Chains A and B, each alone.
Chain A
Amino acid sequence: MPTRTRAPRRRRNLAPVAFVAPFLLLFLLTFAVPIAYAVHQSVMDVEYTGPLGLGGSRTAFVGLSNYSHALSDDAFLRSVGRVLLFAVVQVPVMVALAAGLALLLDSASARGVRFFRAAYFLPYGVPGVIASILWGFLYVPGVSPLVDGMRHLGVSVDLLGGSTVLWSIANIVVWEFAGYNVLVLVAQLRTIPAELYEAARIDGAGAWTTVRYVKLPLLRPALVLTTVFTIIGTLQLFAEPLVLRPVSSSIDSAYTPNLSAYNEAFTNDNYHLAAAEAVLLALAAFVLSFGFLRLINKRGGDA
């Protein structure tokens, strides 16, 4: 029963539109348009005509043939398998390590919290390329004090070999991003009201019980966030293998999906195939991130 009179809607209020416009414009220009363009590129291909192909070229619609080529390319599929394996190990290690460090920083007996927080965060300020160069020096035998030192102890290890280099890369990634995740988690821990701790103490909860039943459940949103970030970052693995490639014989041109797309585009001049690989990678990241979120929300909808 409509008791209220409707507000006069003659004069539309344009203020919201004006506020949203700058964002919307940038969003369109830097996000929507490039994605649409990449999708467009991925269904086109260049065809050369005439003797030796020197009679000119045209770009034609080829449907999904770039996708089928990418998905039937062993090297590309191997690269996808490789980052998935990487993710299976990397995501739990990263999240557990970051949560552990954050809880330590937050614990009542922690000293030098500010110093450690800054120290953990510092590597995040180092660009990935620089970090990879630095670690590269620590991996190359003959240059690395690490490798040479271990050799003196009788342990000969090839950190750039076929079976090890992926974990050498994982080490760099953990070094780079763990501190960032710690910071996100610490921020979340800070929002937990002191009364809850007080109540827990009155109920006789020790430090460990407080962590298990107060801190971790309340840390959940931040843990979910860092996990999603880590999943996406893992799939997009690029700078580290690219930088280590000249010093390792075990990183090939399609070591990760991103590296494969990069090489197809800029070395092999197959922009259209590269676009298809990029779209596939974006889809995979989308599916995995949202899959994870759904899984989490279904399981613990009560949180």
Chain B
Amino acid sequence: MSRTTPRRRGRGALATTLVALSLLISACSGSTDSQDKAQAPAKPGEKVDLRFWSWVPGVDKAVDKWNATHPDIRVKLEKIPAGSSGGYAKMRAALKSGNAPDLAQVEYQEIPSFLLENGLVNLSEYGADKSRSKFVDWQWQQGVFGSAVYAIPQASGPMGMFYRSDLFEKWGIAPPKTWDEYAQAAEKIRKADPKAYIGTFPPGNSAWFTALAWQAGAKWFGVDGDNWTVNIDSPETLKVAAFWDEMRTKKLIKTEPDFANGWYKDLQSGAITSWVSAQWGDAIISGNAPKTAGKWAVAPMPQWTKGANVSANWGGSSTAVLKGAKHIPEALKFAEWLNTDPESVDLLLQGGYGWPAGADAYKGSSLDKPSEFYGGQKYNEVFAEADKNIDTSWKWIPTIAATYQHLNDGFQAAVAGKGTFVSAVQQAQKQTVEDLQRKGLKVSTGQ
């Protein structure tokens, strides 16, 4: 799934016990390095069972569809908690204990982490490269390292701006085309209604901030020979951080957490009048503020350069084949079907899994229609256009989860009056370099 959903995490103790137990078991089982030989496909008529771990809403229906149409390859779906809510911890524990499922949901930013754990199967050896043209190129590249393909892309989150067209119209504000205009609009909204804000800067959700830096042209991570490169504190990022620092100090935005009760309430009441977000945000708004139906519209993301047309991506997820899979050719076949078959994609879309990674999957799908909730606008056209204007070279590092936490901690401190967003970014750069070095990885910092 491509979104960061709100969640209650109460399974700590149980998860700890389970993981501790499985670690214990893996500690006894010794070496984790397994000699891989390319597996041959199953013989005709042979029945194959695949295990698949995912948390994407609607994926159960797609799996049912597959099982109904592919009697020889039966996929058994096991729903797990969303990745950062414990799903990844579960997968890592399973990989360590040699009991991983054949297939699993892995978000784009987590692919390098699993690569580092030696947890993903190189699918190039099974002819995955042939499928490249079936997918949006930048999304395909998210699973490619060197010449090897490690994941089949599923969905992403091209970004735009949701806004309350009724309120904007009432106050005589045009949807901002640039970030300057965004700041001006924010000021007008504050004057028009003392309760209303243009939006929130969610200090605990730096994946959102990352997407904004991506749009501004930052390239935080990369690979340079044997080194990972880290350039979080590049001028582009600092520009974005300074922009939000100013918005914050002028009190033009809220700084409440997103995907939380207060925020949902603000969406319902009109205290928050716009949201720069990914395409999958549509279902978040319509699901949590159903009474605002017909009052929303979608515009492209505000730009840093007037007249430009640059978008970014927030979220994004793939189907990966995990090390230890017993039927790799069949698993690959299922992964491709799941993410390209029109019927499967439609079932996933109904669940709200995000923006399809399949090339041209949008045309003629259930997204390709005017929406009543969004005032009759065929709003997905905005995102279809955005999907073409995302910097395709963006890469992730194996310690991204820690980087997000560093940014969150810094942003939260800034909101509490200690430091600024800019200093949080600079601090996160230092901490991220240390994170990688602690794991024994070589790091260079570019400029």
A residues sitting closer than 8 Å to B (CB atoms) are 34, 37, 41, 46-49, 51-54, 56-57, 69, 75, 127, 129, 133, 136-137, 140-143, 161-162, 238-239, 242-243, 245-254, 262-263, 265-271
Contacts and interface: CB of A to CB of B under 8 A. Distances in A.
Nearest to A264: B402
Contacts of B86: 266
Given A142-B271, A249-B256, A269 B440 contact: no
Nearest to B401: A267
A152 to B, nearest CB: 14
Given A56-B33, A142-B269, A253-B408, A48 B413 contact: no
Given A37-B20, A53-B398, A53-B439, A245 B204 contact: yes
B250 interface: no
Interface string B270-300: 0100000000000000000000000000000
B116 A263 contact: no
Interface stretch (B125-133, B223-231, B308-316, B365-373): B223-231
B40 interface: no
B20 A268 contact: no
Q: What are the nearest 3 A-B pairs in CB distance?
A: A162-B416, A129-B10, A51-B226
Interface residues of B, number: 62
Interface in B29-44: 32-33
Contact of A249 (B10, B204, B223, B266): B204
Interface stretch (B70-78, B207-215, B257-265): B257-265
A263 B113 CA distance: 16
Interface in B77-102: 84, 86, 88-89, 92
B401 A51 contact: no
B184 to A, nearest CB: 26
A140 B441 contact: no
Given A48-B440, A142-B262, A143-B262, A250 B416 contact: yes
A182 B256 CA distance: 38
Contacts of B33: 56
Contacts of A254: 409
Contacts of A250: 412, 415-416
A257 B396 CA distance: 29
A248 to B, nearest CB: 7
B409 A252 contact: yes
Given A143-B262, A266-B86, A269-B113, A252 B413 contact: yes
Contacts of A46: 439-440
Contact of B265 (A52, A143, A162, A267): A143
Nearest to B84: A267
B412 A49 contact: no
A51 B265 CA distance: 49
Interface in B400-439: 401-402, 405, 408-409, 412-413, 415-417, 435, 438-439
18 contacts: A37-B27, A46-B440, A53-B116, A53-B398, A53-B440, A56-B118, A57-B32, A129-B8, A140-B260, A142-B266, A242-B9, A246-B257, A246-B260, A247-B262, A249-B203, A262-B16, A266-B88, A268-B435
Given A46-B439, A249-B257, 7 more contacts: A47-B439, A53-B228, A54-B115, A57-B116, A239-B12, A249-B204, A269-B88
Contacts of B266: 142
A270 B23 CA distance: 13
Nearest to A45: B438
Contacts of A129: 8, 10
A75 to B, nearest CB: 7
A162 B416 CA distance: 6
B441 A141 contact: no
Contacts of B242: none
B412 A243 contact: no
B397 to A, nearest CB: 10
A10 to B, nearest CB: 40
A246 B116 contact: no
Contacts of A143: 261-262, 265
Nearest to B85: A266
A69 B10 contact: no
A248 B261 CA distance: 10
Interface in B112-168: 113, 115-118, 145
A140 B263 CA distance: 10
B413 A53 contact: no
Contact of B402 (A34, A57, A267): A267
B15 interface: yes
Given A37-B24, A249-B416, A52 B8 contact: no
Contacts of A247: 257, 260-262
Nearest to A130: B10
Interface in B314-334: none
Given A162-B417, A265-B89, A269-B401, A238 B116 contact: no
Pick from A137, A249, A269 the residue with the most CB of B within 10 Å.
Answer: A249
A238 B23 contact: no
B261 A140 contact: yes
Interface string B183-204: 0000000000000000000011
A52 B413 CA distance: 32
B7 interface: yes
Residue with the highest number of chain A CB atoms closer than 10 Å, among B8, B15, B32, B89? B8
Nearest to A245: B204
Given A246-B7, A249-B204, A266-B89, A136 B439 contact: no
A75 B113 CA distance: 24
Contacts of B9: 242-243
B12 A242 contact: yes
B307 interface: no
A253 B405 contact: yes
A244 B12 CA distance: 14
B439 A48 contact: yes
Given A46-B439, A136-B261, A137-B261, A268 B399 contact: yes
A252 B412 contact: yes
B255 interface: yes
Contacts of A268: 399, 401-402, 405, 435
Contacts of B413: 252
A57 B32 CA distance: 9
B364 interface: no
A250 B84 CA distance: 20
A243 B8 contact: yes
Contacts of B399: 268
